[in-house]
Amino acid sequence: MTPADGDGRAGRAGRFLRENSLGLVFLLGFLATLAGQLLAGRAELNNDLVSEGLPPVGLLAYATSSDFAVDVTENWQSEYLQFFLYIFGTVWLLQRGSPESKEIGRAGTESDREQRTGTHARADSPRWASAPGWRGVLFSRSLGLVMGGIFLLSWLAQSVTGTAAYNEERLRSLEGPVGWGGYVTSADFWSRTLQNWQSELLAVASMAVLSIYLRQRGSPESKPVGAPHSATGVEG
Amino acid sequence: MRGRRCGGAAVRAAAVSLALAGLGACGVVEERRNAAGAEAVRFEAARDAGRHALLCAALAPGTRDELEETARSGCPEAIRQAVEEDDLPPAGAVRAVDVWGDRARVVLEGDTLFLSRFPGGWKVTAAGCEPRPDRPYRCGVKGG
């Protein structure tokens, strides 16, 4: 290997990191906070177990427990629901003055020319953008469908792992276990679910409205600092 | 093309891993169900044979402490009293075993036991339990 080869490889790696820093930083942040949740959740459960005269659980046992899984999946489902609703909702719903909204009067799925689909697809468009039939329809909605699909799977996982965690707690309290149907109609399931949904919906509403009047210089989530409050669908 | 083949193999590997994990989880639950049921049967056999020291050894530490404090005596004497006062009724055969994580409920013909998994195996956390509508079981022997 020559020094030039090494420099070239380092340069490519540096460029890759710069060009993908948004995804990489958030992915690493996700892993770090998940590890933190694992440690804090285990400590909390062990406090309860020891106070009841029961043996504490090890880190691996907690990482594979329903207690940890339900706490993780209840947050996942609400985040993916938030993005699913935002992606589908912003097709039809508008907010005057918000960079999160399309311009007033453009509600709907828009024309093939505006969306560069069908015969209006260009040479650099994805292949399925010009595909006729179900492939074109599917690709045109793929982002929302995948987000919605992950939401449903996470919510199902929350219900299954929640049933197990809830029943383990009921047996600890000398109560009989319930089935999946009993759990998904229980206060525990809906309390966990709705406490997450309300915060996600509040965050979306805040973002849509606050971004009318406030700015973040350099962020594509904000209008340019000098853009008028009335400008809709303008990103910085 | 190579990427796509690799992706397919990765999906297949993930599916096989998930299936094996699912089967493994089922195996673990079945193993725990059998072990909890067997411990309940041993507990009831010791009760029927009047082997109070064995009954004490089968109790979870917190349950044994609570029993001794309530009876103001050592565990074997306290458990003898519990049997005499019908706090631990004759149980009969096992009807159902429910296992969720490290907890279990064993329903027998004449009694219901609650157990927890300890490093040395399953221990009885509550015995002589009767169901009550919309409330926890009432148990003759239980932890604090």
Contact partners, residue A80, CB within 8 Å, separation at least 6: A147, A148, A150, A151, A154
Whether A176 and B105 lie within 8 Å, measured CB to CB: yes
Whether A174 and B129 lie within 8 Å, measured CB to CB: yes
Whether B62 and A175 lie within 8 Å, measured CB to CB: no
Residue-by-residue pLDDT tens, chain A, 236 positions: 666 677 788 888 999 999 999 999 999 999 999 999 999 999 999 999 999 999 999 999 999 999 999 999 999 999 999 999 999 999 999 999 999 999 999 999 999 999 999 999 999 999 999 999 999 999 999 999 999 999 999 999 999 999 999 999 999 999 999 999 999 999 999 999 999 999 999 999 999 999 999 999 999 999 999 999 999 988 77
Choose the closest CB to A55 out of B100, B114, B118. Answer: B118
- The number of distinct structural domains making up chain A is 2
The matching CATH number, chosen from 3.40.50, 3.10.450, 3.30.70, 1.10.357, for B2-142 is 3.10.450
Range of the domain at A42: 1-63
Question: Of A10, A44, A63, at which residue does a domain stop?
Answer: A63
> Which one-letter DSSP state was computed for residue A125?
S
pLDDT digits (tens, 9 = 90+) for B56-104: 999 999 999 999 999 999 999 999 999 999 999 999 999 999 999 999 9
The answer to whether B139 contacts chain A (CB < 8 Å) is yes
Half-sphere exposure of B85 (CA within 13 A, CB side): 12
* A228 and A188 within one domain: yes
* A32 and A48 within one domain: yes
Taking contacts as CB-CB distances below 8 angstroms, the residues of chain B near A54 are 60, 62, 102, 116, 118, 125
Instruction: Report CA A107 to chain centroid distance, whole Å.
Output: 24
pLDDT digits (tens, 9 = 90+) for B38-67: 999 999 999 999 999 999 999 999 999 999
* A155 and A56 within one domain: no
* A201 and A220 within one domain: yes
* A172 and A185 within one domain: yes
Which segments of B2-144 does DSSP mark as H helices, in order? 2-49, 52-58, 61-71, 75-84
Give the per-residue pLDDT at A235: 73
Give the per-residue pLDDT at B7: 46
Q: Which two tokens stand for residue A226?
A: 């000098």
